[in-house]
Amino acid sequence: MQLEVIGVGAAGCRIADAIHAGDPAERSVVGTAFAFDVDGEDVTALQSIPVARRFRYGETIENGLNGNLQRGFTVGEEHVDELSRHLDDGQPSIADAFVVAVGLGGATGGGTVPALVENLQRLYDKPVYVLATLPATSELEPSSDDRSGSGSDAETRPMAEENAVRTLERLEGSADAVIAFDNEEWLRSSETVLEARDRLNRELADRVLAFFTATASGTDEPSGAETIIDANDVARILGDETGIATIGYGKQQVETDDGGSRFGLGLFSAETSVDTTTAISAIETTIQKGLRGKLTLECDRGDADRALLVVGGPPAWLNRQAIADGRSTLESATGSAEILSGDAPRPDSDQVFAVVLLAGVEPAGRLAALRSRTKPLDRRRAGE
């Protein structure tokens, strides 16, 4: 698939940067990556997105938005046309989808992304997938030191939770889907988001890239796959009703045994000698890791409305029966009949991988907890 990747706010820009940095040259999925932030220093500190694609907006805002999401929404509305014009410099017309990255909890990304997503939906006939982090609990607990790295005042921490829920409410009905990443789940004990963020962003980028590079776009060379997953399949599984999605990923190193075929000489064929039992076992193990291992957002597998599985690796290792069995495993784990599966041959690789996308996974524990602690806006307005 070909993606236009847009990061908004500090976290969103860093995540977009990590995706851009990890985009594999030989199987690139990032058409153009953009970084939008009101904080010029954060935009400047990025490593990978070309400088010409980084934009500071709202220069008149002094001292940032300080977690004031209401102000963030206003700033987003005010600047959305300006930001959308920058996107014309990319390749939106040939993109299969937009991926908009944001750290939920902040005011800049969380304030601008809803207006931007609405605008993208109006301007282009492409799905818009939001990639959103959930705030870690350490940010929600008042403490004497600034452990979160995003707000120094104890008063701002509970705000992260409320902000996250409000931004999600605003995205309702405009984002096609929200692929969630739970910072809390991915932090090691006593680690802060500030300390861990580069690792978290790499983990997230790895999964997002594993997923999208395993899918095909109309312009791709024939891959030799038995069942290709394309942009329409992804859109079908992610849906268009702002459902919450999560990604699982498993991989395993395998032996490749021919002289040079891994390097694109085309000698590697399904006939190459890989013991069938070993291949089946490798596929089963990676699918189990993808399905039962840590997801970007933890959830009950049985809550997923739809799911997608792509298994990739050296062609000789892609045992069709094991992939079909994996699909059945996914079917019984989710209880869903809306399951798609495909394969992604990688003649130049020595890894077997499985990427699992679960969609419509609510109520996902962490998200349900955030929502339950935040009063619906109508009750709040009524003074309850």
In the complex, which residues of this chain contact ligand GTP (CB under 6 A)?
9-11, 14, 64-65, 67, 103, 105-110, 133, 135-136, 139, 150, 160, 183, 193, 197, 200-201
In the complex with ligand GTP, the residue whose CB is nearer, 209 or 352, is 209
Question: Is 185 flagged in the annotation as binding?
Answer: no
Question: Is 201 flagged in the annotation as binding?
Answer: yes
In the complex with ligand GTP, the residue whose CB is nearer, 187 or 316, is 187
In the complex with ligand GTP, the residue whose CB is nearer, 86 or 202, is 202
In the complex with ligand GTP, the residue whose CB is nearer, 150 or 286, is 150
In whole angstroms, the minimum distance from the beta carbon of 283 to ligand GTP comes to: 31
Residue with tokens 């300080």: 66
Within 10 Å of residue 265's Cβ, how many Cβ atoms? 11
In whole angstroms, the minimum distance from the beta carbon of 212 to ligand GTP comes to: 18
In the complex with ligand GTP, the residue whose CB is nearer, 160 or 357, is 160
In whole angstroms, the minimum distance from the beta carbon of 108 to ligand GTP comes to: 3
Question: Is 108 flagged in the annotation as binding?
Answer: yes
d(CA 38, CA 250): 37
In whole angstroms, the minimum distance from the beta carbon of 164 to ligand GTP comes to: 8
Q: What is the 3-state secondary structure (H, E, C) of the chain?
A: CCEEEEEEHHHHHHHHHHHHHHCCHHHCCEEEEEEEECCHHHHHCCCCCCHHHEEECCCCCCCCCCCCHHHHHHHHHHHHHHHHHHHCCCCHHHCCEEEEEEEECECHHHHHHHHHHHHHHHHCCCCEEEEEEECCHHHCCCCCCCCCCCCCCCCHHHHHHHHHHHHHHHHCCCCCEEEEEEHHHHCCCCCCHHHHHHHHHHHHHHHHHHHHHCCECCCCCCCCCCCCCEHHHHHHHHCCCCEEEEEEEEEEECCCCCCCHHHCCCCCCCCCCCCHHHHHHHHHHHHHHHHHCCCCCCCCHHHCCEEEEEEEECHHHCCHHHHHHHHHHHHHHHCCCEEEEEEEECCCCCEEEEEEEEECCCCCHHHHHHHHCCCCHHHHHCCC
In the complex with ligand GTP, the residue whose CB is nearer, 119 or 133, is 133
In whole angstroms, the minimum distance from the beta carbon of 48 to ligand GTP comes to: 14
Question: Is 232 flagged in the annotation as binding?
Answer: no
Measure the CA angle with vertex 336, ends 332 and 337; round to 5°. Answer: 105
In whole angstroms, the minimum distance from the beta carbon of 192 to ligand GTP comes to: 10
Question: Is 359 flagged in the annotation as binding?
Answer: no
In whole angstroms, the minimum distance from the beta carbon of 169 to ligand GTP comes to: 16
Question: Is 101 flagged in the annotation as binding?
Answer: no
Residue with tokens 């997230």: 204
Within 10 Å of residue 174's Cβ, how many Cβ atoms? 19
In the complex with ligand GTP, the residue whose CB is nearer, 17 or 176, is 17
In whole angstroms, the minimum distance from the beta carbon of 203 to ligand GTP comes to: 9
Within 10 Å of residue 239's Cβ, how many Cβ atoms? 17
In the complex with ligand GTP, the residue whose CB is nearer, 63 or 277, is 63
Residues annotated in the binding site for GTP, as ranges? 107-109, 139, 183, 201
| Known binding-site residue numbers | 107-109, 139, 183, 201
